[in-house]
C-alpha cells in the first residue's frame, strides 16, 4: 500500500494540516475499528453514523492521520488536538479528498487497471479475472463489492506498490456514475458481463442502462480493450459503433462470432463444471469449481482478459481451478436432517435467480428440492413481471416446494401458479422467521438427500435463513 507523509497528503488535497507533518501513512480505512497502525482514517458523514464521532477512537486504535471535514467543526467549537506522533487534516469534502488521493495513487502506482461492470456476475467475474492473471502477475482486486464512489477509491488507496494489475469492480445506479469511477480508476481494459434490467427503477429503460454501462468502454484509452459477451444483445449492438479493440466471448453461436468460446459443459463433483475452451489455435480442458452456464460465461470473460495480457489458456485454466470466491455466493453447506443447502444470498435479480434455480435442479440429480426465494429489488416497472418470470421457472423445472419471503416475492408464487405449479407446494410468508419454521418442517418430512436453494436481494438478509437451517459443521467442499 502507499507510503506518504501527512505533509504530502495535505499537499495533494490542499487541506489544512495539524500535528506531525512528517508522520508516514500506510493505507486507508473508513471504519475506525479496522485501524491496525499507520493508516489514514477518513471521518466521513453517513446516514446512520458520522465518522467525525470516531476521530479519537481511530487515533487510539493506531491510525496515523485523520482526514475530516472542516465544516463539521465550525459550529462545534474547538478542533480536536492530534496526539503526539499523529496528525489531523481538514478538508472541504472528505469524499472528494478520498477520491483525489485515489487518483493520485492510481497514477503513481503505474499498474494496469481492469474494470468490470454488468447487471449480473460482476463480483464473480472480478474474482475469476484475478485468478487467471495471478498466474503471471502481482494482482490486487476490489474486496467484496467495494464498487462505488467510496469503495473504489478505498480499494485503490490500499493497493500494494508492487501490484502490476489492479482489478476494479464498478457498480452504478444511474447515468454518469461509472464515468465518475473511471475518472478515478482510469481503466485500460473494460469488461461488461451483460446489460440486463437491474436498475430499471432509476433508469426506466434498458437503453439507458446500456448507455450507463457503456460509460466504461467510452472511458478506455484508444489502445484499450473491451471484453464483451457475444450473447448479450445490448453489448453487441453498442459494440458495432465502437472503435476500441474488442474481444467477444460466448458459449453459443451468439449474436456475433466469439473470439474465445466454451463448449461441452458437464457437471463435475458437488458444484463443479468441466468444459472445453478455444481461443485461436489454443484448446484446453477446463474445470471451474462453480456450477451453471452463467458462471462458465464469466470464466470465459476472465480467460479473455488473460489473453490481453498474454496469459495462455493453459495458465488461465489453472487459475480457474484454484479460484477463491467472495463470500455468500453459491456456498454449499450441510443442512439439518442430512440435507444440502445452496446458499446464494449475496444478491438477486431475475436472471441470476433463474440461473440458481437451474443449478438446484441440475445438482439435486432427481432428489427432492426446495426453493426459498426472497424479494428482488431495483426492478422498477419490471418488478411484477420479473418476480413472475422466476415463478414460471420454478414451475418449469418442477421444484418440489416453493417458499417465498416478503410481499414482492408473492409474485414469484403467483407466476408459479399461473404456470401450473401446484398450490399445495407453495408457502407465501412475510418474514424470515416464518420461512425458517416452514422450511424446518419440510426438511424433516422430505428427509435426507433434499437440496435447498436460498436466494434473495441483499437487503433481505437471506443468510440468516441459511444459518438457521445448516448443521453445525464446516462448509462443504
Whether residue 38 contacts residue 64, with contact meaning beta carbons closer than 8 Å, is answered with yes
Residue range 332-336: average pLDDT? 92
Round the CA-based radius of gyration of the chain to a whole number and report it. 24
- Give me the helices (H) in 310-431, please: 313-321, 350-364, 383-397, 410-418
d(CA 3, CA 60): 20
Phi-psi category of residue 27: left, alpha or beta, with phi > 0 → left and psi -120 to 50 → alpha = left
The distance from CA 58 to its chain's CA centroid, rounded to whole angstroms, is 28
pLDDT tier at 86 (50, 70, 90 boundaries)? very high
pLDDT of residue 472 exceeding 90: no
Whether residue 40 contacts residue 64, with contact meaning beta carbons closer than 8 Å, is answered with yes
The C-alpha angle 443, 406, 386, rounded to 5 degrees, equals 100
DSSP-assigned letters across all residues of 237-266: HHHTT--SEEEEEESSS-SS--SEEEEEEE
Identify the residue whose cell numbers are 470473460: 301
CA distances from 443 to 12, 271, 334, 467 (A): 59, 21, 12, 15
Q: What is the pLDDT of residues 34-50, one digit of tens each?
A: 999 999 999 999 888 89
Do strands 139-141 and 189-192 pair parallel, antiparallel, or not at all (unpaired)? unpaired
pLDDT of residue 353 exceeding 90: yes
What percentage of the chain exceeds 90 in pLDDT? 78
d(CA 472, CA 452): 17
Residue range 433-452: average pLDDT? 95
Whether residue 389 contacts residue 196, with contact meaning beta carbons closer than 8 Å, is answered with no
Reduced to 3 DSSP states, what percent helix, strand and coil does the chain have, rounded to the nearest 5? 40, 25, 35
The DSSP bridge partners found for residue 41 are: 29, 66
What does the pLDDT read at residue 365?
A: 84
Whether residue 205 contacts residue 179, with contact meaning beta carbons closer than 8 Å, is answered with no
d(CA 171, CA 161): 25
Task: Tell me the three-class secondary structure of 101-169, residue by residue.
Answer: HHHHHHHHHCCEEEEEECCCCHHHHHHHHHHHHCCCCCEEECCCCCCCCCHHHHHHHCCCCCCCEEEEE
What does the pLDDT read at residue 477?
A: 46
Identify the residue whose cell numbers are 456456498: 331
Residue range 327-331: average pLDDT? 77
d(CA 66, CA 85): 12
CA dihedral 128, 130, 136, 140 (to 10 degrees): 180
Q: Counting runs of H as helices and runs of E as strands, what totals does the chain give?
A: 16, 22
d(CA 248, CA 232): 10
272/59: higher pLDDT:
59
What does the pLDDT read at residue 200?
A: 52
Q: Dihedral of CA 369/375/379/385: which sign?
A: positive
Whether residue 301 contacts residue 123, with contact meaning beta carbons closer than 8 Å, is answered with no
Query: Grid coordinates representing 173?
Result: 445506479
What is the average pLDDT score of the chain? 92
Whether residue 126 contacts residue 116, with contact meaning beta carbons closer than 8 Å, is answered with yes
What does the pLDDT read at residue 441?
A: 95
What percentage of the chain exceeds 70 in pLDDT? 96
Q: What are phi and psi of 60, to 5 degrees?
A: -65, -35
Residue range 55-84: average pLDDT? 92
d(CA 340, CA 451): 5
Whether residue 281 contacts residue 289, with contact meaning beta carbons closer than 8 Å, is answered with no
pTM of the model: 0.81
What does the pLDDT read at residue 473?
A: 55
Burial of 46 (0-12, 13-18, 19+ CB in 10 A): exposed
What does the pLDDT read at residue 277?
A: 97
pLDDT of residue 78 exceeding 90: no
pLDDT of residue 28 exceeding 60: yes
Q: What is the pLDDT of residues 449-468, one digit of tens each?
A: 999 999 999 899 999 999 99
- The secondary structure of residue 470, as a DSSP letter, is B
Residue range 86-92: average pLDDT? 97
Q: What is the pLDDT of residues 166-204, one digit of tens each?
A: 999 999 888 899 999 999 999 999 999 998 755 455 555
What does the pLDDT read at residue 475?
A: 46
Q: Which long-range contacts link 59-62 to residues 24+ away (Cβ below 8 Å)?
A: 59/83, 59/86, 61/32, 61/33, 61/35, 61/36, 62/35, 62/36, 62/37, 62/38
pLDDT of residue 210 exceeding 50: yes
Q: What is the pLDDT of residues 93-134, one digit of tens each?
A: 999 999 999 999 999 999 999 999 998 889 899 999 999 999
pLDDT of residue 24 exceeding 80: yes
Whether residue 452 contacts residue 364, with contact meaning beta carbons closer than 8 Å, is answered with no
409/173: higher pLDDT:
409
CA distances from 90 to 37, 56, 153 (A): 20, 15, 19
Amino acid at each position: 500500500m502507499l507510503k506518504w507523509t501527512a505533509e504530502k497528503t495535505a499537499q495533494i488535497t490542499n487541506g489544512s494540516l495539524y500535528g506531525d507533518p512528517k508522520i508516514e501513512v500506510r493505507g486507508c480505512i473508513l471504519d475506525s475499528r479496522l485501524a491496525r497502525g499507520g493508516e489514514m482514517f477518513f471521518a466521513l458523514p453517513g446516514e446512520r453514523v458520522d465518522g467525525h464521532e470516531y476521530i479519537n477512537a481511530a487515533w487510539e486504535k493506531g491510525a496515523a492521520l485523520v482526514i475530516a471535514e472542516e465544516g463539521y467543526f465550525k459550529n462545534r467549537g474547538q478542533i480536536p488536538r492530534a496526539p503526539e506522533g499523529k496528525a489531523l487534516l481538514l478538508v472541504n469534502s472528505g469524499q472528494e479528498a478520498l477520491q483525489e488521493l485515489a487518483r493520485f495513487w492510481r497514477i503513481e502506482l503505474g499498474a494496469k487497471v481492469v474494470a468490470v461492470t454488468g447487471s449480473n456476475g460482476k463480483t464473480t467475474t472480478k474474482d475469476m479475472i484475478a485468478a487467471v492473471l495471478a498466474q503471471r502477475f502481482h494482482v490486487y482486486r476490489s474486496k467484496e463489492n467495494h464498487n462505488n464512489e467510496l469503495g473504489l477509491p478505498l480499494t485503490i488507496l490500499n493497493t500494494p506498490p508492487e501490484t502490476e494489475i489492479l482489478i476494479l469492480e464498478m457498480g452504478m445506479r444511474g447515468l454518469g456514475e461509472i464515468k465518475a469511477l473511471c475518472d478515478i480508476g482510469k481503466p485500460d481494459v473494460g469488461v461488461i458481463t451483460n446489460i440486463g434490467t437491474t436498475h430499471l427503477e432509476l433508469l426506466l429503460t434498458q437503453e439507458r442502462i446500456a448507455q450507463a454501462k457503456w460509460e466504461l468502454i467510452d472511458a478506455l484509452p484508444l489502445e484499450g480493450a473491451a471484453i464483451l459477451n457475444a450473447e448479450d444483445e445490448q453489448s453487441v449492438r453498442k459494440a458495432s459503433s465502437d472503435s476500441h479493440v474488442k474481444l467477444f466471448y460466448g458459449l453459443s453461436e451468439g449474436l456475433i462470432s466469439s473470439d474465445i468460446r466454451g463448449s461441452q459443459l458437464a457437471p463435475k463433483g458437488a458444484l463443479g463444471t468441466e468444459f472445453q475452451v478455444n481461443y485461436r489455435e489454443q484448446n484446453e480442458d477446463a474445470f471451474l469449481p462453480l456450477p451453471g452456464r452463467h458462471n462458465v460465461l464469466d470464466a470465459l470473460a476472465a480467460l479473455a482478459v488473460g489473453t490481453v495480457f498474454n496469459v495462455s489458456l493453459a495458465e488461465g485454466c489453472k487459475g480457474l481451478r484454484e479460484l477463491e470466491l467472495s463470500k455468500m455466493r453459491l456456498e454449499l453447506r450441510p443442512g439439518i436432517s442430512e440435507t444440502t443447502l445452496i446458499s446464494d444470498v449475496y444478491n438477486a435479480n431475475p436472471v441470476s435467480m433463474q440461473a440458481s434455480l437451474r443449478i438446484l435442479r441440475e445438482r439435486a440429480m432427481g432428489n427432492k428440492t426446495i426453493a426459498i426465494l426472497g424479494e428482488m429489488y431495483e426492478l422498477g416497472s419490471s418488478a411484477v413481471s420479473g418476480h413472475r418470470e422466476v415463478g414460471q421457472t420454478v414451475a418449469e423445472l418442477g421444484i418440489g416446494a416453493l417458499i417465498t419471503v416478503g410481499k414482492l416475492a408473492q409474485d414469484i408464487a403467483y407466476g408459479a401458479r399461473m404456470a401450473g405449479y401446484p398450490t399445495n407446494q407453495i408457502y407465501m410468508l412475510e418474514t424470515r422467521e416464518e420461512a425458517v419454521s416452514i422450511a424446518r418442517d419440510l426438511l424433516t418430512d422430505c428427509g435426507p438427500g433434499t437440496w435447498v436453494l436460498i436466494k434473495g436481494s441483499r437487503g433481505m438478509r437471506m443468510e440468516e435463513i441459511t444459518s438457521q437451517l445448516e448443521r453445525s459443521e464446516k462448509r462443504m467442499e
